[in-house]
Amino acid sequence: MSVQAIVLGGTGYVAGELLRLLSGHAHLEVAAVLSESQPKTRVVEAFPHLQAAYPDLLFASLDTIEELVRVTAQTALFCAAPHGVAAGLIDRLLTVAAAAGRQVHCVDLSADFRFASAAAYESVYQRAHGAPQRIAQFTCAVPEHLESAPTPHIAHPGCFATATLLASVPLLALNLTDARLFVTGITGSTGSGRKPIEGTHHPQRHSDLYAYNALSHRHTPEITACAKAVSGVDAEYNFVPHSGPYARGIYVTIQATLKRPLDAAGVRAALKDYYRLSPFVQVNPSPPHVKNVATSNYVHLSASTNGATLAVMAAIDNLNKGAAGGAIQWMNRLLRIPESTGLTALAPGWT
């Protein structure tokens, strides 16, 4: 089985990570990478580290990609385009595929299809939704929280949301804690994208640590909605994100009040059982380290309690598990191939 893969939003960090992971995938073959700003230039000019995998691949125009979708029986479409742009691109290509009788599965990594309604999206992003008629065709969740995809397309949660949901949803679903959760998250600079801004400029961020958008981060409504959809609990997330002095990785700590006395070993046993069928979740007795997951699709979880309060820690790679790797994991499911295909490489440990 070989399926053509198309990547939209081709020059950003997430697109580069998608291309890196797809280069070793047994069933997905990169057919085109969209860059409307750099069409017909070599992909390796944007991603020199991918030279060995894509020495001659050129960025394609949207017209070229439309034609590929039109003539190909089945396409795996990954969208790493910016919020507000992704929905229009996806809608255009799905319309072309439907008219030609072709099958496309899409995983969107922007925020455009993460909400259940256009109104919910517009209240957070303060712009009109680009394709409201497509929203019902997408489900937003991390793969570990649904046995299968209930829709033909997936909206992958953001990287902060991925880490927070993986750490907190079992607490709600198993009724271990109150529904008021306090979240501290620290992200690497790649989480802010490739375009340099003050918050990601290396001299500004190096050897520093600072909070931003405390209790008002745009991922909070997304986290709340996703958690309710899979746990049934309408939880209150009090989220304070921080910028960390490293490039890759997210570290999240969740604190909540236990509903009944439970020691740390009991919490970790509950987490292990909840994720017993999830190959990329590892629950350990000691707190996780970003270096032990950076560049991988794994999440490391741990937990501590003092009898009344619970803390669950999670570490993921923001570009892999929090974006490209999670997207490929979902695409594997949509195509009914083994979930872990192309994603089992371990973290190097010394990034």
Residues 127-155 pLDDT 10s: 999 999 999 999 999 999 999 999 999 99
Cα–Cα distance, 4 to 107 (Å, whole number):
14
Q: Which residues contact 253 (CB under 8 A, 6 or more apart)?
A: 183, 184, 185, 311, 312, 313, 314
Q: Which of 96, 98, 140, 110 is nearest to 8 (CA)?
A: 110
Residue 169's pLDDT is 98
Cα–Cα distance, 7 to 293 (Å, whole number):
24
Rg, the chain, Cα only: 20
Residue 140's pLDDT is 98
* Residue ranges in the chain whose pLDDT is less than 70: 192, 196, 199-200
In the block, residue with structure tokens 């960025």: 59
Among residues 106, 140, 159, 226, the one annotated as catalytic is 159
Find residue 210's DSSP bridge partners. 243
Residue 39's pLDDT is 83
Residue 205's pLDDT is 83
The answer to whether the CB of 73 falls within 8 A of the CB of 103 is yes
In the block, residue with structure tokens 């790797």: 325
- pLDDT tens profile 235-249: 999 999 999 999 999
Residue 201's pLDDT is 72
The 3-class SS string of the chain reads CCEEEEEECCCCHHHHHHHHHHCCCCCEEEEEEECCCCCCCEHHHHCHHHCCCCCCCECECHHHHHHHHHHCCEEEEEECCCCCCHHHHHHHHHHHHHHHCCEEEEEECCCCCCCCCHHHHHHHHCCCCCCHHHHHHEEECCHHHCCCCCCCEEECCCHHHHHHHHHHHHHHHCCCECCEEEEEEEECHHHHCCCCCCCCCHHHHCCCCEECCCCCCCHHHHHHHHHHHHHCCCCEEEEEEEECCCCCCEEEEEEEEECCCCCHHHHHHHHHHHCCCCCCEEECCCCCCHHHCCCCCCEEEEEEECCCEEEEEEEECCCHHHHHHHHHHHHHHHCCCCCCCCCCCCCCCCC
Cα–Cα distance, 10 to 231 (Å, whole number):
35
Q: Which of 97, 8, 135 is nearest to 61 (CA)?
A: 8
Residue 333's pLDDT is 97
Q: Which of 144, 151, 126, 114 is nearest to 339 (CA)?
A: 144
In the block, residue with structure tokens 């291309």: 19
The answer to whether the CB of 271 falls within 8 A of the CB of 301 is yes
159 assigned to active site: yes
Domains and CATH numbers, the chain: 3-140 (3.40.50.720), 159-317 (3.30.360.10)
pTM of the model: 0.96
Residue 196's pLDDT is 67
